[in-house]
A = this chain, B = another copy of it.
Amino acid sequence: MSEIRQDQATKRWVIMATERGKRPRDLVATVSTTEPEPEHSPDCPFCPGNESKTPPEVLAYREGGGPADSPGWQVRVVPNAFPALRPEGEVTVREPYWFTSVTGVGVHEVIIESPVHNANPATMEVEQFTRILAAAGNRFNVLRQDRRLSYIAFFRNHGRPAGSSLTHPHTQIIATPIAPTNVRQEIEEARRHYDDRMHCVYCETLQRESDAAERIVLETDSYFVFEPFASRWPFETWIIPKQHAAVFTTGDASQVEPLAHALWTTLNALYHALGDPAYNLVLHEAPLRDSCEDYYHWHIEILPRLATAAGFELGTGIWINTMLPEHSAEYLRDFVSA
């Protein structure tokens, strides 16, 4: 008998149909038959020496310095050459009632995570993670000043099944002039919980999961990593700060390093447990200038693409997960390096 679980924060329902499921080992990616990627690819726009193939950089870290748009960088941030949104112009609403549309003003940037073409974040040095997150925090701080923007989406697509078309490791930022529906719904549910209970639903999640213990992947001084009770996919993993905050802020390295450590350890464990699975990594935080400090709580969701969302999921919003998060968490814990 399967069970149907409800997530407290979003009210999302998930059918736990474990009888349809596979064991963790069966989900391990089979070795790709395509040629391994080289350390440097002459045709890759993200590789050193090809800086002119991207729009001019907006940020880069070069040990010892050097001119912009030249090699020698460790992390480089550039506008997306094929952006979904463009930064020029004002945000205007075309029709206030029917056939409503808003001008596509926004920002679409790429954080090139390494000069090495075939680098994998799961096997990078943790110091490189700190640089990547520092670059992200820097861009967040700049974009937050833009009054036209309502939301900053920060996400990483890893592998073709996760929608990634370029091998060279990168993370994306899309800042939109509208607040996303999903985030609005999360915040609405969190506000209701706060009004009813006088505390943050994510803080209660932390406490409940800490007490239950069986879905914990990793706990550090600052972060809690676990597989949610109502995980949508096998090995869905959340990284949540123990300190309540509605937005991800990075004032200095002391704030970035603990997250870099937790994130690196988690991706490294998934890499070794599942054989470099495809995944999407998404930051969830409050929209800009949205005063929900008391009841919203930023976090990172990692969604390995080990199953395909089909008609049932797309139509109903109900997911079918073939593995209990207790089991995937137990399996994953064995791959967490000390």
Contact = CB atoms under 8 A, between A and B. Distances in A.
Which of A153, A164, A283, A312 has the most chain B CB within a 10 Å cutoff?
A: A312
Interface string A150-187: 01010111000111100000001010111011110100
Contacts of A15: 84-85, 104, 176
- Chain A interface helix/strand/loop/mixed: mixed
A8 interface: yes
Contacts of A100: 5-6, 8
A164 B310 CA distance: 8
A156 B312 CA distance: 8
Interface string A1-45: 111111010111101110110000000000000000000000000
Nearest to A212: B99
12 contacts: A1-B89, A1-B103, A5-B101, A11-B181, A15-B84, A20-B82, A153-B318, A155-B311, A156-B311, A181-B317, A182-B317, A281-B311
Nearest to A232: B314
Interface stretch (A139-147, A266-274, A301-309): A301-309
The size bracket of the interface on A is 35 or more
A4 B153 contact: no
B16 A104 contact: yes
Nearest to A18: B104
A107 interface: no
Contacts of A178: 4, 13, 318
Given A2-B86, A102-B3, A181 B283 contact: no
A5 B284 CA distance: 22
Interface of A: 1-6, 8, 10-13, 15-17, 19-20, 82-86, 89, 94, 98-104, 151, 153, 155-157, 161-164, 172, 174, 176-178, 180-183, 185, 204, 208, 212, 229, 280-284, 301, 303, 307-312, 314-318, 320
Most chain B CB within 10 A, of A99, A161, A183, is at A99
Contacts of A20: 82, 84
Contacts of A309: 163, 309
A218 to B, nearest CB: 21
A108 B5 CA distance: 18
Contacts of A101: 3-6, 16
A37 to B, nearest CB: 20
Contacts of A308: 161-163
Given A6-B101, A16-B104, A315 B284 contact: yes
Given A3-B104, A163-B307, A280-B315, 12 more contacts: A4-B101, A4-B176, A5-B99, A6-B100, A17-B85, A98-B204, A151-B316, A153-B312, A180-B318, A183-B317, A282-B315, A303-B314
Question: In the complex, which of the residues A84, A98, A156, A208 has the most CB atoms of chain B within 10 Å of its own CB atom?
Answer: A84
Task: Report the 8 A-B pairs with minimum CB-CB distance, sorted nearest first.
Answer: A163-B310, A155-B311, A282-B315, A2-B104, A182-B317, A180-B316, A280-B311, A163-B308
- Which of A94, A161, A174 lies at the interface centre, i.e. has the most chain B CB atoms within 10 A of its CB? A174
